[in-house]
Structure 1
């Protein structure tokens, strides 16, 4: 037997090649990095290693040696083995000439005829020399699965090559407009169907990604794959369409109405915008064809009118949506009139419009229901016959104990009265005196009221309130002193702000209408406190402080129960006397600003304590008048 080592002395190529053709400056799909030294090293090691492996381990791929004298000849090889051996020899010859693509084809033919590890190794080596690193790595993995116990020298070669190849590949996932069931091609190689079960392993460099789905334009893009990293191909469809297929369940040829526009006849299909579409069929059928349930070859221009109900079809990107509609004979019509006009008309429990209403319906019996707010509903069965028009007039009976809903608008103005605005400043003792809280409020509101009188609405308003507190006990803190100066202070308080809230109420229609209502919302206000005082210095001298003012935000939640007693002044107008209580609950109490400096005579500069200038809970009473209009 002629060994591979004898054919290639020194286990090296017959003539050293300093720069094999396969290691010219590679593009790698956009990469311009020259790997000559690394690939030259690979070429020498990989090629020599495989030759060594083949010389030592693959003698079975060569012709059997001549039989010894006096011994029976060995059994002849089969035709497939001989052909596989011939392709293998051809592949080796191309490989030695660095004709790797031709060698790859020959080795693959040999492997198809007879599986052996030598052909698999040569295939992986050819793929690597051709820059198809991902396929080379896959070939090595398949080889290991088929031959898990490789000889030590061959295993070392394979392990080294796989380690190098792992640094030349990355992973690729497909995202974006990736239609399910589409075929994925990377560099014209089919890699599977979408969605992928796991990321693909591909060679580093610029890769051409193409996604194809039957009936749709392909999606293409170029992706720069970085070795050792997960790369994402974010597909973007230029045409954001889906396919809609419409047919009639009896195979009748009818006109297809898509979103109110006629687009063709059944069976129909086309690319449409994404989202929901309204589909309906209509047309004519010959009476004989109807009776025989025949499916005509083309749409009829006259005969019995047939139509389907409207169906909503939801179309998704690059997906096919099928709609099958059943048309029914509608060669008859019905007109419904009502008293009062505008009543809701239902046909077989489905709302079809407002009276007066006219439309075509399938032949047979239908239940017609007419209803209106404040009236008893009326139902009637109607039998429709071919080519006959029916007219139905319905007079509804008013529900005397029920009234129609209405919308009410009102405006009100009130005085505000309260004993105090509360807070630390309202704590009077000794000679302190405080006035009543006086002010005013105004509201505008609107509500939707049911016939029962219960209504829900919104209101907007504004208020102001003032209070005067005289000669209350107070302290002034001189800067740099431990002991405060004692004395008295007078505060002029003023609250102002806007209110917004919701209401629920009950309105009673009678000779003198009543309204009970509860409002709830928020007050966005401001509290002004103008203060002056008289204090004694540490030396015992009395002095007056000049007026100083602080402005503090006053956010409060409010509840406003209200009662009204009114009188009708016109058909839709009502004037009322009202009494409202306004309960304010502080969200953040307003306080005096302690950064305001106050002259303290011989003691220099002082400050007031950050006392609250309004209480946490304040209750006010608001008597007033209101004007209401309903329609």
Structure 2
């Protein structure tokens, strides 16, 4: 150890205690003692051992700086073997750091992560650990310039900052009520500006003031500088814990400690012993809060979760293609055909009409929500009922008979449709959906008729010529619909209801005459018998359906391309 202006005996005692802590694997406590020893009397031992502690603590950039001090200040006092050992350690450390080369439009003090690292212009890039760093340049009369930069191992990042002249200034006077022979360092907005008591010019507005010492200091405190006035900030330093680092992800997130806004990017410093609360905020992310103990040490990474529903993440909308399948079971009051008309609204044993619809459609969705649609599928409508129909004319000399008939009508076939729709977001996931489609139904229709003739107590089975035979035709329809769907990534599911209006009369059925079953053998030449009634053409060529409507509740599932 080399004698200097300090207390050599105290420097040796601090060095001895530091060695004991280093040998017991307590490098952080040992580092404080080696630094204090060096402050008394700089020497090879306390400088080298400080570098060793910093290396073990993972502060490789600072370890390199101390090894360089050994070579610079004590080059003539170290042996060749020690020089080689230091050279080997420095080579390994250089492989574990990056560099930042900072320039600005004015000369100023360079502060990196709350530590002053030199003055601009730099003679060489500053070595830093890999990861995120807050770079700040400060100069009296100018607003500090700041940037957050991420540095990789072996990478050199160039940063060019521009400081703006302060157009409105105030003054802060910072007082440490705890006192002390050597004033504690004063930090304004994370940058060291002097020692307490300190007074200086700052930009008006909210500032963050901190006292920092080796073993005592304060948490960050908010103060407001007022134009043309001097604001006194009275603080009291209390015992603080080891240095800690808070690193937000993303790097642009803003860090609060005990509700004091510190700004974006990582924060480094010591906090008073006891509990503290950290809050990290960034637009488009969910806020994170966590407790922090002032006695803790090391780095705390705070990862924010993306808020997917935030407007920040909404990309510029482009037109999209959707493919959907849909289906449902509908219902109505009537198929509107002539068989039902003969009931006069009093058909008995009615079942239906009911309808099964299965379809697929392609959708071209514009960013404004307007959609052009084309689709097709299969639609089947059925109904059954019982009706009583008077014979066309009585048999001479006999009373008029009726036909008690059971009709089972089916209208089924493929359809094609064109549509115009609109989709409006209700929430981040749910959309209202409306559409109107026009199309053609290429249907095959049939009416299966069975029954009997009745007169008084007489009953005879009857059949209808060509009953149940199909006939093909097409019908135009209009289908307005409303509903909603919910999106799950590229998939969506929906529920809606439509009213299908079929516009045209159906084709004439191939039905012929109504005849008594086995009438030729059952008549037995007695014209008065019911079995002898002649063929009746009153039901020939009935249209099984006419204009009708169906309510169609539907489920939809689709994907977006």
Structure number with higher relative contact order (C-alpha < 8 Å, ≥ 6 residues apart) = 2
Q: TM-score, with normalisation over the residues of structure 2?
A: 0.37
Q: TM-score, with normalisation over the residues of structure 1?
A: 0.33
